[in-house]
Amino acid sequence: MAKDTPKEPKKEHAPKDHATKEQQKAKSKEQHQKVQVTEAHKGAVLPMPKGYKVRMTELYLNTVRPALMKDFALTSPMAAPRITKIVINIGVSEAKENIQALDLAKEDLTVISGQAPQVRRAKKSISNFKLREGMPIAVRVTLRGTRMYEFFDRFVSISVPRMRDFQGVDPRFFDGRGNLNMGLREHHIFPEVNMEKSPKARGMNITFVTTAGDDKKGQALLEYMGMPFKKPVKQEAKH
């Protein structure tokens, strides 16, 4: 009789379910990272890098605040006026008929401010303007802290010199409490805006909110920080 050949021991394989679960987790992680990268390239707002210092912050602490304390005889640095926030608003009236105009204005404001804006809707229905309550009609963004000083620096240094026939900011734009409220005819003064994507010039409103309390301190604060104000015209004495 032939001898029975010894059977080879069966190799133990890892369970298929365990391997497939790990592969699925790895794939989902890679897809999530790809989505984040593509969204960032599309224009999503990225966080400020660590240790980033805005020169306007250092200018205020080292130069502007001591000068304001000296001019207005202030004893405490906390009493010196400062900028608390900057509010930028763009009205989009054609959004009632073309919603793409609102998306375009939202993209422009995101690039200008470095922060995702908020869509503002109509509070009342007005039949003469074909406006219904809840319709999106504007975009708004509120800047504070580092982004606020960064925008102020770019606005004063780059955007203001690009204005047509600019002769200085009128001090009458103050509201009586040291807050400056100014309107712009064209948002193309910001070099970040792509002229090919948004050829139509849009008006915008910018409000600089301060803790000054009166127009004199507010004007002194913004003037020290680089805001060019219109100089009063000296009237010649009549002989």
Of 205, 197, 209, 207, which Cα lies nearest the Cα of 90? 205
Residue 187's pLDDT is what?
86
Say whether 184 sits in a helix, a strand or coil. Answer: strand
Q: Which two tokens stand for residue 89?
A: 């608003």
Q: With the CA atoms of 67, 159, 169 and 108 taken in that order, what torsion angle do they form, in degrees rounded to the nearest 10? A: -120
* CB distance 228 to 159 below 8 Å: no
Q: How far apart are CA 139 and CA 162, in angstroms?
A: 23
The CATH number of 55-224, from 2.40.50.90, 3.30.1440.10, 3.30.450.40, 3.40.605.10, is: 3.30.1440.10
State the SS3 of 47-75.
CCCCCCCCHHHHHHHHHHHHHHHHHCCCC
* Residue 93 falls in which region: left (phi positive, over 0), alpha (psi -120 to 50) or beta: alpha
Q: Which two tokens stand for residue 114?
A: 């470095």
Q: What is the pLDDT of residue 41?
A: 37
What pLDDT is attached to residue 236?
56
- Work out the widest C-alpha separation in the chain, in whole angstroms: 144
Q: What is the pLDDT of residue 44?
A: 47
The tens digit of pLDDT for each residue in 107-158 reads 989 999 988 888 877 777 776 666 667 777 788 999 998 899 999 999 999 9
Q: Would you state the pLDDT for residue 137? A: 78
- The pLDDT score that the predictor gives to residue 65 is 93
pLDDT in tens, the chain (239 residues): 445 555 555 555 544 445 566 666 666 555 544 433 333 334 445 666 777 777 888 999 999 999 999 999 999 999 999 999 999 998 887 776 777 888 888 898 999 998 888 887 777 777 666 666 777 778 899 999 889 999 999 999 999 888 888 888 888 899 889 999 998 888 888 888 888 888 788 888 999 999 998 999 999 999 999 999 887 766 555 55
